[in-house]
Amino acid sequence: MSDVVNAPAAPVVPEGHVAIEIDGVAMTAPKGSMIIQAADKAGIPIPRFCYHDKLSIAANCRMCLVEVEKMPKPAPACATPVMDGMKVVTRSDKALKSQRNVMEFLLVNHPLDCPICDQGGECELQDLSMGYGRSVSRFAERKRVVPDEDIGPLVATEMTRCIQCTRCVRFTAEIAGTYELGGMYRGENLQIGTYDGKPLTTELSGNVIDVCPVGALTNKVFQFKARPWELVARESLGYHDALGSNLFLHVRRGDVLRTVPRDNDSVNECWLSDRDRYSHQGLYADDRAIVPMIKLAGEWRDATWDEALARAAQILRDNGGDNLGILVHPATSNEEGALLAAMAQGLGTGNLDHRISQHDLSDAAVAAPFAMPVAELESADVIVIVGSNLRHELPLVHQRVRKAALKGAKVHVVNPVDFDVTFDVASKHLVAPSQLAATLAGPAIAEALSGASRAAIIVGALAENGVHAAAIRQAASNLAAATGARLCRVPQGANAVGLTDYGVLPTARDARDMLAQPRSGYVIYGIEPGLDFADAATANRALGAAQVVAFSHFACRSTRAVADVILPIGALPEIDATLTNLDGRQQSAVAGGKLPGQTRAGWRVLRALGGELGLPGFDFVDLAGARAAMAMRDVAPVAGSAPATGSEGLELAVSSAIYRTDGVVRRAAALQSHPLNLAPRAVVHPDDAQALGLADGTVAGFTADAGTATLPVSTSAKVARGTVWVEGGHGATAPLGAARVQAGRA
């Protein structure tokens, strides 16, 4: 009988991999990968500060020193490539001594202010110092102090705590692409800062808080509000653009105090836009609707839910069928949308629509998922961006396009404005909005796409919402079909795809036509009527002359001006809901914040109103029952009337201001004081300004069919000739709802 013991079989080494051993565990790892990546995949912990799996390798903290067989000195695991037959020990005496020595040096200048540091309780330095730090410091000299600089309303600085890991520097350089942070001075005087002392301007600035392993960069809005162990994390979603970023709401006793990203590589990776991170401030605005209200003889008074529902039901009974229009905000959840569609059917009206920001629905266009999933955009070889300020419209999709460009993709832009991007552009075609379709149909763009194997055409809000939208959509569709490119039309609203799936679409009049041909009664759902409509002046005229039931988050001035009853409903962070993002991915959010006052979840209010009206399908008692009754509806919406495009004056190009996209964002104080939130203005080409006798700073009147906007003028060669560019979401620009405007001194 043999005494030989069979050794465990060596792992099979796939092609392009090498066999290594870490802490006695045999494994394989891709050639060229680092020890720390192999250890992470195997679940073997190695301490680190500067390493981050989404950033380049810096190897400047040295906390990840490990012992490698046949190497005389400890090696940094983050910067040492694996080699065939390599044996690594992460917990040997040599490795542990090296790691402890590094920790001692890191703590030499670090202030002992954990009790007052916002990072306390979730600090990587604090955690690792418990395992690798000494109980007594041998350093007796004076600690250095670094003066702080104000880098804006979103990120607080305490740079004396900085350990120079450079994660924030690499983030602004590699991910955001703005290169706003860097190292100044040398040796022990090294400081991380902005060079010029100006606020961070990237739309992704809050991510430097997440990557900072110490308390040097913290959330200024959350500062000193709570300790991490007091907070409860609730899974939720971003609802200010169509990406649907995954996030956690951090809640204390029902109040949302902070928002942080939730990892999902298929959607937002581990990042979050500032708009999604800080918008929760808007939930607590002074004009939040917290009690049902009824207007009697022109005066508003608080009401009970029974009174308000009875009044709303009476309005809907008095204005049934074709006399009723139902207008829905495109960020409304699937559950609420399905109930609104059922209510419209029960009331016999085909006037139901969520496409409230769009002028041209003459082709009956609806939102559709991206033909190329957003995660695949970064591997595209050619991308054409049409009619979009993509960086402001979809900050994290813009970041995916940047990744593609860094990998060698050619990016071509067809726009009326040369919007800022953080990547090199292969070609720019700056043309007036009326020429976007013709440019797409021309030879230049087709030639740019020829030979591409993974091409995408992204059509954005400026194209989708303009008066030439139908022609642009057709030209983009034809171009995609001819070249094999994937067509990615940006849905106009956080849940435009979901509301399309659940039939929140017209079978009679679309949003534009039911306002241009006023109805006697309306339901407006989640809408701020003064700012959310494509043509606010026409909308408010129609609503002002009708009976209006407003399901609203805010009892704002414009809602009070047109509504007869206000039913307060919860915003997405306060309700259980599902949204469908631009990939067609249905995602769930759970209630985080408590509903303020007498506010109720929208599905509850709709159920109660449906019951009051005696409509079929409203006899469920809970959300599970509502969801069980939900069914996707394949509605073929009617084609709307084509808007007038005009022939005189300057063409109007309207993009949505990054922090004026919806009612909640508009009320987030920190975002409103951000440098990207510019005052309303009209930007024209210098040649047009000269022809009109206008100059920088001149206040001019811009007259459209619906009214006149008085705006300061700015001149820029980045605007196509014959075009005036304004940002929507401002009361000052709301009167401009037409294709062209006449300009002159005010």
Alpha-carbon distance values, 260 to 235, 397, 585 (Å) = 10, 18, 21
Sign of the four-CA dihedral 197, 203, 208, 209: positive
Beta bridge partners of 554: 288
**Of residues 702, 708, 707, the one with CA closest to residue 724:** 702
> Alpha-carbon distance 542 to 565, whole Å?
16
The number of beta carbons lying within 10 Å of the beta carbon of residue 187 is 5
Q: In this structure, which CATH number among 3.40.50.150, 3.30.70.20, 3.40.50.300, 3.30.70.3270 belongs to the domain 138-283?
A: 3.30.70.20
Query: What radius of gyration, in Å, describes the C-alpha atoms of the chain?
Result: 29
Could you say which DSSP state residue 468 is in? T
Sign of the four-CA dihedral 217, 219, 225, 226: negative
Where do the structural domains in the chain lie, given as residue ranges? 17-106, 138-283, 293-363+496-629, 374-489, 650-745
Query: CATH for 293-363+496-629?
Result: 3.40.50.740
- The beta strand positions in 511-625, using DSSP E, are 521-525, 547-552, 565-568, 577-580, 586-589
Instruction: Give tens-digit pLDDT for 373-411.
Output: 999 999 999 999 999 999 999 999 999 999 999 999 999
Beta bridge partners of 413: 385, 428
Q: What is the 3-state secondary structure (H, E, C) of 34-78?
A: EHHHHHHHHCCCCCCCCCCCCCCCCCCCCCCEEEECCCCCCEECC
Cα within 13 Å of Cα(56), Cβ side:
9
> Alpha-carbon distance 99 to 46, whole Å?
10
Who's near 615: CB < 8 A, 6+ residues apart? 342, 343, 346, 347
> Alpha-carbon distance 119 to 126, whole Å?
9
Pairing relation of β-strands 232-237 and 293-296? unpaired
> Alpha-carbon distance 685 to 1, whole Å?
94
**Of residues 243, 151, 162, the one with CA closest to residue 206:** 151
User: Which pLDDT does position 283 carry in this prediction?
Assistant: 96
Query: Superfamily assignment of 374-489 in CATH?
Result: Dimethylsulfoxide Reductase, domain 2 (3.40.228.10)
Helices within 374-522 (DSSP H only): 390-393, 395-406, 436-441, 443-449, 461-464, 469-483, 496-501, 511-516
Query: Which amino acid type is present at position 144?
Result: R
User: Which pLDDT does position 88 carry in this prediction?
Assistant: 95
User: Which pLDDT does position 292 carry in this prediction?
Assistant: 97
With H, G, I as helix, E, B as strand and everything else as coil, classify residue 569.
strand
Q: Domain 17-106 belongs to what architecture? A: Roll (3.10)
For tokens 């509605």, the residue is: 635
Structure tokens that stand for 219 in this block: 């959330």
Alpha-carbon distance values, 310 to 320, 565, 567, 618 (Å) = 15, 10, 11, 16
CA 174 to chain centre: 19
Q: Are 81 and 34 in contact (CB under 8 A)?
A: yes
Helices within 630-705 (DSSP H only): 663-666, 669-672, 686-692
- Phi-psi sector, 726: left (phi>0), alpha (psi -120 to 50), beta: beta
Could you say which DSSP state residue 232 is in? E
> Alpha-carbon distance 20 to 34, whole Å?
11
Pairing relation of β-strands 17-22 and 232-237? unpaired
> Alpha-carbon distance 208 to 270, whole Å?
12
Fold: same for 17-106 and 293-363+496-629: no
Structure tokens that stand for 709 in this block: 């906007």
User: Which pLDDT does position 455 carry in this prediction?
Assistant: 96
Structure tokens that stand for 105 in this block: 């040096």
With H, G, I as helix, E, B as strand and everything else as coil, classify residue 216.
coil
Q: Is 11 exposed, middle or buried, given 0-12, 13-18 or 19+ CB atoms closer than 10 A?
A: middle
Instruction: Give tens-digit pLDDT for 181-213.
Output: 999 988 888 899 998 889 999 999 999 999 999
- Per the document, the length of the chain is 746
> Alpha-carbon distance 680 to 531, whole Å?
13
Query: CATH for 650-745?
Result: 2.40.40.20
Q: Are 243 and 267 in contact (CB under 8 A)?
A: yes
Report mean pLDDT in 10-residue bins for the chain, 746 residues.
53 88 94 95 94 94 94 95 94 95 92 91 93 87 89 94 94 95 89 89 96 95 94 96 96 96 96 97 96 94 96 94 96 96 95 95 95 96 96 97 96 96 95 95 93 94 94 96 96 96 94 94 96 92 95 95 96 96 96 96 96 92 91 86 82 93 96 94 93 89 84 94 93 82 74
**Of residues 110, 23, 636, the one with CA closest to residue 366:** 636
User: Which pLDDT does position 9 carry in this prediction?
Assistant: 60
